[in-house]
Amino acid sequence: MTRKSESKLRAGAYASSVGAAVLLAACLGVEVAQAQAIMRTPTISVPSRTPTISPSIAARAVSIDRGSRPMTTARIPSPRIGSTPVLPYARYSPNLYPSCSAPYRDADGECLAQPNAGGEGSGKSGKKAASKGRGNNTPVAVNQRFFGGEFVAEIDGALSVTEADELARRHGLARVASENFPLIGATFGLFRITDGRPAETVRREFAADGSVRSVQPNFRYALQDQKSAVPVEGDPAQYALAKLRLPQAHTLVHGANVTIAVIDSGIDAKHPELANSIADNFDALGSAEGPHIHGTGIAGAIVAHAKLMGSAPEARIIAIRAFGGTTGSAESSSYIILRSLNYAAEHGAQIVNMSFAGPKDAVIERAIAATAARGLVLIAAAGNAGAKSPPLYPAANPNVIAVSATDQQDKLFTASNRGNHIAIAAPGVDIFLPAPDGKYQMTSGTSFSAAYVSGVAALLLERNYTLKPEALRMTLAKTARDLGSPGRDDLFGDGEADAFAAVMAIPADSATPVAAASGTTKREDADKRRNEPGIRAIEQPALSSAGDKAAISQADRPATR
């Protein structure tokens, strides 16, 4: 090989090596650039697209989505993810009775135990839930209506206590309590399942026994207040007084010599606002609980007479404790309400205030009818379950004056029930009332609207002791201040109560009886007086109408809206 050829060969090899090096460098350069690009990209934490689901809901989702297609999160409707509140109405109050959607009402329109007792769903979704079931939600919802495993039964009044206990044992029950109720002329007992059998099976077998007249669940009742604010001191303006025109009415009457039974939670009889106003006490629960904020407030709306002013400050109160519980939301039952109504009727009450609500209840309906037949005026809170709720009881009973709630601007309380059974409205929003231990509270609810109207009813009875319940109801309706659409409506009934106009519409009775001695509020004296000659019964006012309202003296009416 010549020197020239060797030189060329070396040059070619060098060029090849240089090209390879350049190519390698180029390759390395590309790889480094990619790495830098990744490092410069911000680290992003991408959360899992699979939602966190509680075990019970996850199991329900799996059972729904079994089939040929795999389950994906997109197929789970968003409302099913997370825990659905059992009581969606609790935004108004911890003590409200749930509303009821159409698919869960019986032929009479009454609410049955529905899986989702919120009343927020449509009929379609309700039916779907009914057909597929809602796992463990069903018994929870059912127990909102009544106490699980308990029955109220009418039994043969001739049975002794021992025989009643034996009757219960034969059917796997324990007799919790039983007594004769003169109000309805029957003996009722409270029974509880002891052997764990299904309630419906036990009910059918028990009802078939010859010693049993009727059996029903022990329904649950709730006080109708919104969650109260922290008790405070002081005396803010009571706008309810002006709205009801109570100062004007009090120039004529104060509710003296009239007895009002307050079926509620415990009342603080030692509160300065209630001093000397509690004529009698009855604990239908047989409990050792102290005063409760709700019952004390209700009594204050009626008879407060220190810093505050109730609607009938000189009325007498029969304090009946029917609601109890270790928390702020006291509750009661069919059997306890029956005991309470029986006591009120047997111990001289002329008016019964019922600031609570529950389902339609055959036993309580019977007791209400018997109480009304004795001539007592029955007044109840319409309920705080809102616009979608079916009628609640006892307010929806035709013998009861149902009261809805208004605020300081004469607007309906958002949570107030509606319906053609609403008789009248009264202030019930941000009401300043007494609370236990000498304190005060600011609270809301149809409970307090009903209490104000019970006091107005006492003013009318002091004005004319012979006033019959239906005449009293129609007087309230005829003299009410119209709110909302002209004439009667489902929000305010005949309008907001006007105590002064109502009192002025009643002819004064010059033979008002002298008050009974403290602790003796029996009705015998009242019945005797009504039968004496010279005691005149007024004619029942005509049914109210828009024309009747317009005919009331303009001096007794506020300016036109």
Annotated active-site positions, please?
Answer: 264, 294, 447
Q: 345, 322 in Cβ contact below 8 A?
A: no
Q: Give the containing element (helix H, strand E) for 333.
A: strand 331-333
As a whole number of Å, the CA-based R_g of the chain is 35
DSSP, collapsed to helix, strand or coil, labels residue 193 as strand
| Assigned token pair, 517 | 């001695």
**Token representation of residue 86:** 């059992």
Q: Which residue has the tokens 């004619």?
A: 539
394 preceded by a cis bond (ω within 30 of 0): yes
Helix axes 293-303, 446-463, angle to 10 degrees: 30
**What span, in angstroms and rounded, lies between the C-alpha atoms of 119 and 122?**
8
* Residue ranges of E strands in 388-460: 400-406, 422-427, 431-435, 439-443
Q: Which residues of 77-111 are buried (b: 16+ CB within 10 A; e: fewer)?
A: eeeeeeeeeebbbeebbbbbbbbbbebbeeeeeeb
Query: How far, in Å, are 65, 134, 275, 312, 334 from residue 61 at the CA level?
Result: 6, 11, 59, 58, 38
CA atoms of 209 and 508, how far apart (whole Å): 55
Separation between Cα atoms, residue 333 and residue 218, nearest integer Å: 6
How would you class 251 by CB atoms within 10 Å of its CB: exposed for 0-12, middle for 13-18, buried for 19 or more? exposed
Helices then strands (H, E): number in the chain? 16, 15
Which residue intervals of 464-531 are DSSP H helices?
469-479, 499-504, 524-531
State whether the Cα torsion 139-145-149-154 is positive or negative: negative
The H or E element spanning position 187 is strand 186-193
Tokens read off for 123: 């009929």
Burial of 307 (0-12, 13-18, 19+ CB in 10 A): middle
Neighbours of 466 (CB within 10 A): 17
Do 299 and 390 touch, CB atoms closer than 8 A? no
CA-wise closest residue to 167 among 199, 220, 215, 200: 215
CA distance 268 to 278: 9
Q: How many residues does the chain have?
A: 561
Handedness of CA 311, 389, 220, 116 (dihedral sign): negative
488 three-state secondary structure: coil
The answer to whether 93 and 415 are in contact (CB under 8 A) is: yes
Structure tokens at 98: 């749930």
Backbone angles phi and psi of 357, in degrees to 5: -150, 155
Token pair 């410069």 in the structure block, residue: 40
